[in-house]
Structure 1
């Protein structure tokens, strides 16, 4: 049974920010795929629900050549899969979106909701991290932009305050001769959460970028490992070295989905598969 709450559906962004500035016990509803479950199981006690689906500014999905792609808070995950821009320019994001839940849920779930839920095992963040995504955050006090790698602060925790909402996520244009992929391991075939997920990218300068989930309290960008790998040069030998070294850059735990040891092993396996796949394309 749902608890009683006030429901507000503003038509403009300023109205939504007014509500957030007044009421600290307000939960934001976009796709609702996580929020409604929490309400139904009484995991949260919401006094106010702010439905942002009708706000035009949050529906933006805009690619500007030479700049990049902006994805608004109301853009559903299936939009990423259907977009030629995402498929051609941000392949790891296309891969990760295709892994997420079922077709029906992807018609409701949003990219912004996925990052705001801040699950350590979420599929989209590793792909966003390797593209240096930034998060545009608004409140009555103004707008601020935060690198996604700084947005997550813990399990189900972010930099967002009670008075703020995420307007959009921006991905800089990768440029030509840039490729990426996302691979994950799950307990079951089909619609399951990641045991480990790895996103790899070789950018236009031939440098590797590595994102990973489910191996720490937040999704991670493994910049230290990237630096070591890029200093060696990307070869089959250095990829095998990094696949073994990756275990020293992550801190997984054992839980109902996997043991710590299995996650350590699969992180290296998935990284190697990703990088070898990208190297095969370059050959």
Structure 2
């Protein structure tokens, strides 16, 4: 189904699963672009700038390979004040421009779209920003939230809220909360490989729900860690349900991009980004129209 002219075709299979309350939206940095917030690469660039430094030779090498988490790990080790110096800069870099037109529209739509017919909210984000809170306040919505590492058990009977899988920026300066954010390669190693609390949450999530990724690019390091954790489960014989991703694609690149997504075990639903632009309006308009249809139930359809 196309919710907007020339928008992505949402498969009937996904629409049906969503109406049955079996879909969980998993949100990345791309949903916060309208609020002026950067993706992972832009965030790292801002952190360097705010600290008045430039990448060392080894940091430049890992950045060239899109290993933003590894670059921050190296930066934390060489800066005075180390870990907290980088995290205070991260907090400064993630201050949204909430007065921009449409800054919170996509977040407000997702808060509607991620509720089942009984009103329970089941959504996950790897973003640290508080734009969902601003969107809820603007539209009169309320929600419970969970911030890593204090996560719910992702089952119908035990989960009603928004999960900040990699942590949430505190309202006021709070070094303990900043220290918990999963942002460097060391943090990801703890969360997914050593302590494994993030990997366990994902395993249970994929066992019980169909996941739809929104706001991620194919090369996103965050997506890589998540899919590697699930690949390990598959090697142990775990059966995971279908995963989808609303992904950007330039004209003529559909086949190559589809192969890359499918190699990660994810089926892409492409929306077009015109060549020479960074126009992701197809994604945002589709989510808003889909949320309106979902809210109106049978009448909307």
Structure 1 length as normaliser, TM-score?
A: 0.28
Structure having the higher helix fraction is 2
Structure having the higher strand fraction is 1
